[in-house]
Structure 1
């Protein structure tokens, strides 16, 4: 059976663990949090003594709760039933202290039930059992940001116990701009220590994002060439083939830059660009990520291309403003391409291009590292080598290299050397990002979570641009639903990022394909 790798220390944990999911009746809990907990449970990765407490304002029966939390879970009826035996639900407000007192009573009762464990004794008359280790409480906020500080305050006042290990998990968005992010962090720090706070960006739980550190620092070739002497440009691309799908009211408050770039993509960039950490310790890694972000000046509006999708050319798909929850005068971008510069010795002169769009022609998240032109006079004007890391939908790493085309002549072509993870590692489970991150929370590993100074630097980079957009100083170009993006998006990497398109025929699986083609 395929399972995650689990550290021996965590595998042996016998701690009493209570996981409290706030917002348990919401979509995030239903679609992500509970399926992640189930994946850990069926892989035998939750600590042995674990209770999962759902909490939300919705008054649900036990039957309604079970139906909701299992609606996105796949498993045998017996396994699902066993998982549900570890779960319960309490309804209450997020503002009333007495409701949190009731929740604490439920948690405490569950901890008492787990506090003794029968064991085998030499003396059959000795049935006392034994006490087990420390208590861990994980407070998972599957909530809108507006509820974070209220719930955190009530947890601290009515649930928190100093002799318990307390971990609070919050989901992005972490604020609306730099000032609101500072306010949120200030409020959280009144109630919880930084070591107790886990700011979740689920991209840091993705297998291929975790792989970047290994690829860079465990391979001599990449470690030696990962600088401005050899690399021309790096692109980080996020594409979704669907629009807001009825969630336009929520999305319109944020836009594509706040929703994707300021968090997900800047985290990927920080790992791609950071200096080698002293060790794989969480703080050493996060020190390096924060340090490289400090070298990035704020994004310039003149180095940005923004768009907003309209109805598809055939009229079958609605435009962004056709969503009844979106204001008709909305100036919120659904597409953005922009350039970031890192002004340090390693990366000076190498543009980092970010592109993100909704309602475009395909679904993919990739990193494209394009190396500089070959300096050899033997092969002038050949195409550049590229390294592509496909984060989703199918995890893979491949290189595009110049090769001799088979035959009697000396014609050159481009071809790919590909590592497709699902094909190569068929006996290994590729974990869901939320499951991987929850395991890190339980194991007290902060490596894949955002520290306060990282977050502040990310907002510093994007806040001036976001304020210009909010003030109506940016032009949004229309693009049809299902297209590649607004006019100029294809040329943007060449215009601003030193990108050079492949000039040779590109062969993949015995076929000539589009030079921008990404193997599936």
Structure 2
């Protein structure tokens, strides 16, 4: 049987860990400037600047680094520094050391007020940047702005001459999701950005790819011989990729109303996880080969249909004993809204390795738990030696689960393997036991970096392996666009489910069609 397996090239098993970014002198003798466009916003304040500070505190940024915030607010440098200070935390450093790091970091932060579509505003930025850093300078530009502004900002930057096309010094541009709302709008964003930046300069970021457990997926698969020979349709019954949040959408419901759970989570984060779980082994551990395999896999997945999908919307329920309003009762949500806060879909992967193996992907807002995990369910043994005991289970509790590999992304990073084992004692009962790798325990002395820290370091190194290429984005949107066009007509109402519960009952019916028990 052709299961699509390939030998693992030796460089994957030998790949090393992250190292500090080389000093500026090794980057063509140019200092580093980081500009965050939209610096007064939530993303910049809560994620980007805290990540930059953490890298600085750990000595992972070049000494010559300067940071610039660009936004419409009429702030001074001091105003900006006061705005940033509450978010600059040191998890592993003593308070006095953290204070020293802050006092070294904040004077490096500058603010340039301006209009997003004004070339003159970006010329002001360029003058401030050159005054602080000199010229030439390597320049990382982070778009912490809505996608509707991408084109205007890119064109204004290009007109201002702030973008360089070479590699020494370089300009690299990071853009955040959402990358459009369907294939057509995504293509338009790509066209607008492509008119101002080369594809090699553009880093489309999905912060889930910066999480340690997600980055460990390729190592787990291709550096461990106990997994790769079993990673195929002959040995795996199904795969379940699950994401859930337990908090209401209060404050974000207006934004979410125009997005929905599929565009918000499934088309990006969870599709990227699916690609890493199911792709073939790349021949080399570099950006081109890794992304080639992800694109090849996504093009082997059948686009979703309504028949393979269940949608839900939470109604009033309870959170920790307190009442919670239903989604339609949130400000900014239409009283007859058809926006889904829950989605489950079974993907059909038509590759030699996976043909016939259902991939269940589910995403839910307003459930009783917050978690993201990947469950790999292995098939039952071919022999009948323990069939009767497996059916009975421990203490007569019913059918035992077979082998299962669980990769927990959040809240606590963990990898565990469920195996069938004999219960100690004079009888002969079987039960499932877990072989558990908890990151918190196994790496107790190691700081697990934030996803944004990891990905910003990769941008500085020019490593695009964990960033989304334009053809990869196209392939991902092709899986969802036909379904989204149908759902946007609101011809079908999502199934209701009370806040604080796992989702609508219809999810079980979908899973049962594919003999999946843990939906």
TM-score (norm 2): 0.89
Contact 2:310–2:345 (CA<8 Å) still a contact in 1? Answer: yes
Give the distance between the partners of 2:486 and 2:78, measured in 1 at CA.
49
Q: Distance in 1 between matches of 2:474 and 2:449?
A: 29
Counterparts of 1:358 and 1:141, CA distance in 2: 27
CA contact (8 A) 2:151 2:192 kept: yes
The residue that corresponds to 1:126 in the other structure is none
Match of 2:163 in 1: 160
**2:315 paired residue number:** 310
Deviations, residues 102-154 of structure 1 (Å, cap 9, x unaligned) = 11111111222xx7xxxxxxxxxxxxxxxxxx731111000011111111111
Describe the superposition over 1:481-520 as per-residue Cα deviations: whole angstroms up to 9, x where unpaired. 1111112334543x1433246xxxxxxxxxxxxxx9xxxx
Maintained 8 Å contact 2:138/2:171: yes
Q: Which residue of 1 aligns with 2:63?
A: 48
* Superposed displacement of residue 315, structure 1: 6.8
| Alignment match of 2:52 (pick from 34, 37, 51) | 37
- Pair 1:59 & 2:74 matched: yes
Kindly indicate whether residue 336 of structure 2 is the aligned counterpart of residue 334 of structure 1: no
Q: CA deviation at 1:333?
A: 0.3
Q: Which residue of 2 aligns with 1:142?
A: 144
1:53-81 Cα offsets, whole Å, 9 max, x none, are 00001112333312222222214222112
Mapped pair 1:441 → 2:463:
no
Flag structure 2 segments of 5+ consecutive residues without an equivalent.
1-15, 91-97, 391-400
Matched, 1:347 2:350: no
**Bigger CA drift: 317-326 or 334-343?**
317-326
- Partner residue of 1:191? 196
Where does residue 451 of structure 1 map in the other structure?
A: 469
Q: What is the rounded CA distance, in whole Å, between the counterparts of 2:425 and 2:322 in structure 1?
A: 49
2:362 paired with 1:359: no
CA distance in 2, matches of 1:279, 1:474: 46
Q: Report the CA distance between 1:40 and its aligned residue.
A: 0.6
Q: Deviations over 1:178-205 (max 9, x none)?
A: 0000111011111111100000000000
| The one of 106, 109, 117 aligned to 1:95 | 117
CA distance in 1, matches of 2:275, 2:446: 28
**How many angstroms apart in 1 are the aligned matches of 2:386 and 2:204?**
49
Query: Does the aligned pair in 1 maintain the 2:406–2:415 contact within 8 Å?
Result: yes
Kindly indicate whether the alpha-carbon contact (under 8 Å) linking 1:303 and 1:496 is maintained by their aligned counterparts in 2.
no
CA contact (8 A) 2:364 2:503 kept: yes
Alignment of 1:372-383 (within 5 A): 372-380=379-387, 382=390, 383=401
Alpha-carbon distance in structure 2 between the residues aligned to 1:490 and 1:70:
47
Would you say the 8 A contact 1:6–1:45 is kept in 2?
A: no
Q: Distance in 2 between matches of 1:387 and 1:278?
A: 25
- Which residue of structure 1 lines up, in the alignment, with residue 10 of structure 2? none
Deviations 1:85-118 (A, max 9, x none): 1110011000111111111111111222xx7xxx
Residue 109, structure 1, aligned to residue 111, structure 2 = no
Contact 2:165 2:198 in 1 (8 A): no
Match of 1:128 in 2: none
Q: Residue 21 of structure 2 contacts residue 62 of structure 2 at CA under 8 Å; is this kept in 1?
A: no
User: Given the superposition, is the C-alpha separation of residues 465 and 339 from structure 1 closer, same or farther in structure 2, using an over 3 Å criterion?
Assistant: same
3-state SS of paired residue (1:69):
helix
Is 2:89 the counterpart of 1:77?
Answer: no
2:516 is aligned with 1:499: yes
Report deviation, 1:375.
1.1
SS class of match (1:70): helix
Matched residue SS, 1:228: coil
- Please give the alpha-carbon distance, in whole angstroms, between the structure 2 residues aligned to 1:71 and 1:485: 37
Report the number of matched residues: 478
Any idea what the Cα deviations from partners look like across 1:388-424, whole Å, max 9, x if unmatched? 0000110000011100000111110011110000111
| Structure 1 Cα separation of the partners of residues 22 and 358 of structure 2 | 41
Structure 1 residues 420 and 86, CA gap change in structure 2 (3 angstroms): same
Aligned to 1:238, what secondary structure does the other structure show?
strand
| 1:481 aligned residue | 499
SS where residue 21 of structure 1 aligns? strand
| SS at 1:343 equivalent | coil
Confirm whether residue 419 of structure 1 aligns to residue 437 of structure 2. Answer: yes
State how far apart, in whole Å, the 1-side matches of 2:198 and 2:412 are. Answer: 38
1:375 to 1:19, Cα distance in 2 relative to 1, 3 A: same
Shift of 1:473: 2.8
Measured in 2, the distance between the counterparts of 1:277 and 1:230 equals 21
- Any stretches of 5+ residues in structure 1 without a counterpart? 116-133, 502-515
Q: CA deviation at 1:474?
A: 2.9
Shift of 1:11: 6.0
Alignment deviations for residues 154-175 of structure 1 (CA, whole Å, 9 cap, x no partner): 1111111345301010000000
Q: Which whole-Å CA distance do the structure 2 matches of 1:162 and 1:9 have between them?
A: 21
Asked whether the 8 Å contact 2:317–2:323 carries over to 1, the reply is yes
CA distance in 2, matches of 1:336, 1:214: 29
The equivalent of 2:395 in structure 1 is none
Alignment match, 2:291: 286
Note if 1:239 corresponds to 2:244.
yes
Query: TM-score under structure 1 normalisation?
Result: 0.89
Equivalences for residues 385-396 of structure 1 within 5 A: 385-396=403-414
Give the deviation of 1:5 after TM superposition: 4.8
Contact 2:23 2:63 in 1 (8 A): no
